Amino acid sequence: MRLAIYPGSFDPITNGHLDIIGRASRIFDRLTVAVAHNSAKRGLFTVNERVELIRESVRAIGNVEVSTFEGLLIDYASDSGALAIVRGLRAVTDFDYEYAMHQMNSEMSPEIETMFLVASKEFSYLSSTIVKEFARYGRPVDNFTPPAVSEALLKKFGH
């Protein structure tokens, strides 16, 4: 059973994340989308809300499950018996951070690969931060997020 972890903040999940999930789920037998608890960063959505929005959005994909983790990603990946950590790469601006994260994680547990999937062209500029910013000021974001997220953003911002 080849398991991979797709970790992130997912505050909230976007169509860009969904694209990576769909592609990674075809490479591995099982994919766990893992929402990080980050006490230093208060999000728009609670971790539970994010999990629910992801669950709703990946329902059609059979081999994907959604979970949360606290502490170090590499410990979580190791404890889960994962073969790989999957990360999406959009532009070169992502690279430095992703490279550092990969180096550090592979120092700690060299048997766990980090696998980068390059974002599809149509999602290369998309981020949760940008989506939230547009939704906050009442712009529809239906083209950029799964329906459950567009709805949840509308509710959050009261538009």
Q: What's the token pair of residue 150?
A: 């567009």
| CA–CA separation, 154 and 159 (whole Å) | 5
Q: Does 101 bind ligand PNS (CB under 6 A)?
A: yes
- Residue of 25, 50, 87, 128 marked active site: 128
Known active-site residue 17: yes
Q: Does 80 bind ligand PNS (CB under 6 A)?
A: no
Q: Does 61 bind ligand PNS (CB under 6 A)?
A: no
| CA–CA separation, 134 and 114 (whole Å) | 32
* Cβ density class 117-143: b for 16+ within 10 Å, e for less: bebbeebeebebeebbeebeeeeebee
- Chosen residue from 3, 9, 55, 106 binding ligand PNS by CB under 6 A: 9
Known active-site residue 121: no
Distances in Å between the Cα of 15 and the Cα atoms of 34, 69, 105 are 16, 22, 27
- Residue of 55, 90, 102, 156 marked active site: 90
| Contact positions with ligand PNS (CB under 6 A) in 12-41 | 36
Q: Does 72 bind ligand PNS (CB under 6 A)?
A: yes
- Chosen residue from 105, 114, 145, 150 binding ligand PNS by CB under 6 A: 105
Residue with tokens 């989308």: 33
| Contact positions with ligand PNS (CB under 6 A) in 107-146 | none
Direct distance between the N- and C-terminal alpha carbons of the chain, in angstroms, rounded to an integer: 45
- Chosen residue from 7, 12, 88, 146 binding ligand PNS by CB under 6 A: 7
Query: Using CB under 6 A as the criterion, which residues of the chain lie in contact with ligand PNS when the complex forms?
Result: 7-9, 36, 72-73, 101, 104-105
Which residues are known to be catalytic? Answer: 17, 41, 90, 128
